[in-house]
Structures are given as structure tokens and as C-alpha cells.
């Protein structure tokens, strides 16, 4: 593990690191905040997945999570959103595809399949790796994210209910199979057979029998992507007649930015801490 930076914050340590990923076949960057409580004992870990065009740095610099994470004793891990490097395929003029737009899935189509194995990276490789280097209680894990990362968090939780005890999302893409900004990427990553897309779609996963106890979703009503991309009400419809509980909070005047995320970050930190206690 290569150390890019380590900085003290709220008595804990905010670090940024790189390592060589077998899944993505390139060096991957991730950030970890370790609270002061971890000096004495293993702490629960919460994974934060960022959105389209982002890296680990967006939430690290603008998410304002460290004070509450330190108070609650939570380790926060913030991976990158896609593989990076000169050998990694990209679409330079398309922000919804390629670098920064991994969609937390395992691509099956060329030229994407060699590097874009983000589901395996997030769900398997990175947890196994970071747990060797930080004092984490891997029996207490939560996951959340923003936009594309909210989509990733919800689908990963639904597919791994025995591993995660909590899940929340800021403005998630809940039905990427039909959303304007994700369906074209899904076709390129996964091919034209839409049946293969369903395992990366929260609404489809619930329809196909996947279950997770409860979700917290915060959504701004002034979000420019609300109607064509996010549509959280579709997930409310999907969980009807199931035992899945959804708390969907719609907020007047809030948009898709980190001003919105940072406003409600403390609520999400507490949500996870209560369920990971």
C-alpha cells in the first residue's frame, strides 16, 4: 500500500492510499478516515461510493463527515469510482461512460471488461485488502453513496444482506436500466441483453427477490437530474408488498451538489452508527 497523504482531523487520521488491484488491473486510489477510538479497539466501517465524474476526493474534501465519524467511532472508506490509467479504456467526450463512470458493475463487453470490474473490486477485493491494514470490525459494515454511488450502495447491499447491516443514499439512481444517463452505459458495459442488467438495478433486484431490511434516501426537489435519472419514487413502488422499509425524505430547494450532501451527512452518520452499534 502506497501512502499518498495522511492528515490528522478531529483526533483521527484521514489518509489517501493507492494499491495495485487485481480486479481492475491497475493502481486504484482510496481514502480512509480512522477515528481516534480505533487506537484502542476495532471500529465498524462504512463505505461511501461517489457519483459520476467524481473520485474519492469529492467527499473527502466536501462531504464534512469526519467530525461525526470521529464522535461515533466509525471508519469511513471512500474508493474511487472507476479504474484509472493510460491503458484503461475511456470515452473522453462522454462523462457518463468510462473513467469516473464505473457504475459499480463488472463489465462483460470489450474493451471494458478487462479493467471495469468495479463490483468485484468494491464488494470483494478492497474489503479484503483494507481489513489487513486498519483496525476494522468487519462484522459491522454499512454502505452509502451519492447518485451513481447511491445506486452502487443499494445494489451491493441488496446482493450482500448478510455482510451489511445498514444502507443509505443521497439522490441515488434507483432504476438505472431505464434512466437516461445510465442505460446507454449499461449496454456498452454489459451488452444488449437487458436481463444481465438486472443484477445492477435496485428496483429489478427487489422484483427478483433480493431483500435488505431498510434504506434511508435523501433527495433534493431542486435536483436537475430528478425526473430523468434518479426517480426515487420508483424504489418506493418496488418495495410495496415486501418487508423492506424505505425512509424517503424529499427536500425543498436542495440540488444534486455536495452542499446538499453535507447538509444531511450527520443524519446518515447517525443512521449507520445506530445500526452498527
- Catalytic residue positions, numbered: 147, 223, 256
Among candidate residues 268, 247, 257, the one with its CA nearest the CA of residue 220: 257
Could you tell me which residues come within 8 angstroms of residue 86 by beta carbon, excluding any fewer than 6 positions away?
none
- Three cell numbers at 134? 486498519
Tell me the HSE value of 261 on the side-chain side, using a 13 A CA sphere: 26
Identify the helix (H) or strand (E) that includes residue 193. Answer: none
Report how far residue 126's alpha carbon sits from residue 121's, in angstroms, rounded to the nearest whole number.
Answer: 6
- Three cell numbers at 33? 478516515
Please tell me the chain's helix, strand, coil percentages from 3-state DSSP, rounded to the nearest 5: 35, 25, 40
Report how far residue 60's alpha carbon sits from residue 55's, in angstroms, rounded to the nearest whole number.
Answer: 9
Amino acid at each position: 500500500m502506497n501512502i499518498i497523504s495522511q492528515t490528522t482531523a478531529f483526533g483521527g487520521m484521514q489518509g489517501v492510499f493507492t494499491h495495485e488491484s487485481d480486479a481492475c488491473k491497475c493502481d486504484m486510489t482510496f481514502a480512509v478516515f480512522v477515528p481516534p477510538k480505533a487506537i484502542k479497539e476495532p471500529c465498524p466501517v462504512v463505505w461511501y461510493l461517489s457519483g459520476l465524474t467524481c473520485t474519492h476526493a469529492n467527499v473527502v474534501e466536501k462531504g464534512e463527515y469526519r467530525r461525526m465519524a470521529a464522535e461515533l467511532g466509525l471508519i469511513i472508506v471512500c474508493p474511487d469510482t472507476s479504474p484509472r490509467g493510460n491503458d484503461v479504456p475511456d470515452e473522453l467526450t462522454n462523462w457518463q461512460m468510462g473513467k469516473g463512470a464505473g457504475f459499480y458493475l463488472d463489465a462483460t463487453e470489450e474493451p471494458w471488461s478487462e479493467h471495469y470490474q468495479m463490483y468485484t473490486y468494491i464488494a470483494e477485493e478492497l474489503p479484503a485488502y483494507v481489513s489487513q491494514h486498519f483496525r476494522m470490525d468487519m462484522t459491522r459494515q454499512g454502505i452509502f453513496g451519492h447518485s451513481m454511488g447511491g445506486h452502487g450502495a443499494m445494489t451491493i447491499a441488496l446482493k450482500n444482506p448478510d455482510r451489511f447491516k445498514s444502507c443509505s443514499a443521497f439522490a441515488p439512481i434507483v432504476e438505472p436500466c431505464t434512466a437516461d444517463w445510465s442505460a446507454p452505459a449499461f449496454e456498452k458495459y454489459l451488452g444488449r441483453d437487458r436481463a444481465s442488467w438486472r443484477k445492477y438495478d435496485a428496483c429489478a433486484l427487489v422484483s427478483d427477490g433480493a431483500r435488505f431490511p431498510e434504506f434511508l434516501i435523501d433527495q433534493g426537489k431542486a435536483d436537475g437530474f430528478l425526473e430523468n435519472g434518479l426517480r426515487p419514487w420508483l424504489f418506493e413502488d418496488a418495495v410495496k408488498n415486501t418487508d423492506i422499509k424505505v425512509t424517503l425524505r424529499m427536500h425543498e430547494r436542495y440540488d444534486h451538489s455536495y452542499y446538499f450532501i453535507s447538509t444531511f451527512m450527520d443524519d446518515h452518520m447517525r443512521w449507520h452508527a445506530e445500526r452498527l452499534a
